[in-house]
């Protein structure tokens, strides 16, 4: 349960935009210094319980973007399901992915992944090194330039102008683990959303359908992003087989 909110956050933020039809080579949405934190709530009957926190931030190193994403359940839920994750990814200033690495601790099991991109003329060669417990192994993926790891995908996708594509059923293909997922997203309107902290935002409302084999493959995920051009997630709503999850924006910091 407590790991699921992190997957929902990542899938939802990246599932609106048509990356297969256009290569993004310019960032006009986020800035170095941007950071936002999301709080996840799980529904039990008529009650909502805060179960986890995720933080997304942007920095730079050697004139490249560096994206850091951390997520964890609250310590008081460790007895039920303990999970801690840390992701770091990087791309060039013209949005070409360089690497992604993660450290995951889940229910007493720890593993590390590192993906390194080798840019070929007509495809990406993505080399993954995994360390799990006392073993390690390597895997090589060959994939189109339009397919990125899940962290780089978030920041590439935020730069797509969704309205230019009529806003209906747009496909997107992020790599997560060993599998490329096909997702469809639609822009369905505007709405004012008030967070748990009492802050109200003007939002664009999206619906996202995630492909088979994920935790949200039956019902749509509803996502509300700020309509100010920054596309900051304010609210994400999803129905799982075990109940409902809502993820609210808790804090946001933008470089002045």
pLDDT digits (tens, 9 = 90+) for 16-72: 443 444 567 889 889 999 999 999 898 877 888 898 899 999 999 999 999 999 988
Read off the tokens for 33: 């210094």
The 10s digit of each residue's pLDDT in 10-20 is 555 554 443 44
* CB distance 76 to 64 below 8 Å: no
Q: How far is CA 59 from CA 6, 11, 33, 63, 221, in A?
A: 21, 22, 6, 10, 29
- Torsion (CA) 61, 136, 122, 7 in degrees, nearest 10: -70
Average pLDDT, the chain: 79
């Amino acid at each position: 349960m407590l790991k699921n909110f992190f997957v929902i956050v990542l899938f939802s933020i990246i599932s609106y935009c048509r990356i297969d039809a256009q290569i993004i080579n310019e960032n006009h949405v986020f800035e170095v210094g941007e950071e936002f934190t999301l709080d996840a709530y799980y529904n039990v009957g008529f009650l909502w319980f805060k179960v986890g926190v995720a933080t997304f931030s942007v920095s730079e190193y050697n004139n490249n973007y560096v994206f850091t994403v951390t997520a964890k359940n609250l310590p008081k839920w460790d007895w039920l399901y303990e999970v801690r994750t840390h992701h770091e990814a990087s791309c060039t200033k013209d949005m070409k992915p360089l690497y992604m690495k993660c450290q995951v601790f889940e229910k007493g099991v720890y593993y590390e992944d590192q993906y390194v991109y080798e840019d070929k003329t007509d495809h990406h060669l993505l080399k993954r090194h995994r360390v799990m417990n006392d073993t390690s192994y390597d895997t090589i993926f060959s994939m189109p330039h339009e397919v990125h790891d899940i962290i780089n995908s978030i920041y590439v996708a935020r730069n797509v102008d969704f309205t230019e594509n009529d806003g209906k059923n747009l496909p997107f293909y992020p790599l997560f683990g060993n599998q490329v997922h096909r997702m469809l997203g639609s822009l369905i309107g505007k709405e004012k959303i008030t967070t748990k902290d009492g802050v109200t935002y003007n939002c664009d409302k999206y619906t996202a359908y995630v492909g088979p084999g994920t935790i949200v493959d039956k019902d749509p995920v509803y996502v509300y992003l700020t309509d100010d051009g920054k596309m900051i997630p304010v609210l994400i709503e999803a129905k799982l087989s075990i109940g409902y999850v809502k993820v609210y924006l808790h804090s946001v910091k933008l470089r002045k």
